[in-house]
Structure 1
């Protein structure tokens, strides 16, 4: 989805008018708000992984099971 790509790039100046027009064809106000929130949360999680040098995809199923006990 172009919205997610444009919304996470810091080098540009936000999401283009063309992308917003396309998004508005398919989603209402509440859905657009939810999409923006999800893109922001995913972006924040990705940036936190960069800060702590945790590469994506490093989780292994059951990795935290021993911590639950």
Structure 2
């Protein structure tokens, strides 16, 4: 499940999309409120990806549960 979540977070996505259906990056957004949402989501996603990667590594090294 952790690997599936990590793969989902690694896929390009956004709250907002341009006319061609591409995700809008925070740097492309003129609206300060939308830009804020994108920046907070980016930081949250980065923290979650780091936690997932660390946890997957720990669980792989732990071996079978006793």
- Normalised by the length of structure 1, the TM-score is 0.44
- Normalised by the length of structure 2, the TM-score is 0.45
